[in-house]
Amino acid sequence: MELRSGGLGSQGRRMDGDSRDGGGGKDAAGPEDYENLPTSASVSTHMTAGAMAGILEHSIMYPIDSVKTRMQSLNPDPKAQYTSIYGALKKIMRTEGFWRPLRGLNVMIMGAGPAHAMYFACYENMKRTLSDVFHHQGNSHLANGIAGSMATLLHDAVMNPAEVVKQRLQMYNSQHRSALSCIRTVWRTEGLRAFYRSYTTQLTMNIPFQSIHFITYEFLQEHVNPHRGYNPQSHIISGGLAGALAAAATTPLDVCKTLLNTQENMALSLANVSGRLSGMANAFRTVYQLNGLAGYFKGIQARVIYQMPSTAISWSVYEFFKYFLTKHQLENRAPY
């Protein structure tokens, strides 16, 4: 079936809500072009595409995420000190088993699917609404930043418990052997609050992260993909660069989040912290007390190397499924 602009009555309109003209003439969209799809995909399409993006992103990058968690340890065991990501993965698989870098992946997938579904659906709808308010249907960086921040509130509410369990399973010599045993132990010994102990820190980190991420992504798309067609290469490049910049800028907050999630016993003992550490301010003080300014950037290389392909995968998968599902819905509705 041909998706012609005349049949849809929306030449040059874009799925993200921007109604600027696609250019016309020789630049007009072809019969199968993404430009000719409706100005907005359905909420179910955003949620499905977002869920697929989240699951694939976290599954593919999980081994690197495991290394990042360990490299952010403030007082690592001598047997768990690493100088490079490749060296860390090689050492972990050799000394702890081939599948050790994947421990906790199941709980991450269970959290990533619904979290990213709400995340992208909220972002797309708020971006479209706010862009109409701020920029009269054009692209607005302020709208992108606010939409990304609001989407983060929903995303982190689902992901925070999964992050707590995942990071405790990733740590060297973890007492937990499965996600279920970790959940039971944390619930019994620390209560429900433990699953959200780092929530405020997570938000403090992710709101600026996602604001930088979305603003950078949309800015780069304006330059490398001005007509906003389905262009996998542009989504990969824009997503990767946006993720790398946002990751580097928010590494200090990520280090504090990891400390709150893992509650490293040796590190807390050295800092003379009794009981459980809570609160971003306390985490910041503890990191500085133990490692000085350098402590805030522990694992920055692993974090950037993790986030760059991670966001590239996320955006490319999301945009593909958004394109595919919307096109499929149109084909089902079209008369034959």
* pLDDT of 35 over the 70 cut: no
Name the more confident of 51 and 285: 51
**Could you report the per-residue pLDDT of 40-97, keeping only the tens digit for each?**
678 999 999 999 999 999 999 999 999 988 988 877 888 998 988 999 999 999 999 9
* pLDDT of 22 over the 90 cut: no
**Could you report the per-residue pLDDT of 309-334, keeping only the tens digit for each?**
999 999 999 999 999 998 888 777 76
Of 5-9, 112-116, 177-181, least confident by mean pLDDT is 5-9
* pLDDT of 26 over the 70 cut: no
Q: Would you say 177 and 167 are in contact if contact means Cβ atoms under 8 Å apart?
A: no
Q: Where are the domains of the chain?
A: 43-328
* pLDDT of 16 over the 90 cut: no
* pLDDT of 39 over the 80 cut: no
- pLDDT-based confidence at residue 192 (cuts at 50, 70, 90): very high
Domain with residues 43-328, CATH architecture: Alpha/alpha barrel (1.50)
pTM: 0.77
Name the more confident of 279 and 172: 172
Q: What is the pLDDT of residue 124?
A: 92
Q: What is the pLDDT of residue 278?
A: 79
**Could you report the per-residue pLDDT of 147-182, keeping only the tens digit for each?**
999 999 999 999 999 999 999 999 998 989 899 999
Across the chain, mean pLDDT equals 84
Q: How far is CA 29 from the centre of its chain?
A: 31
Q: Would you say 34 and 294 are in contact if contact means Cβ atoms under 8 Å apart?
A: no
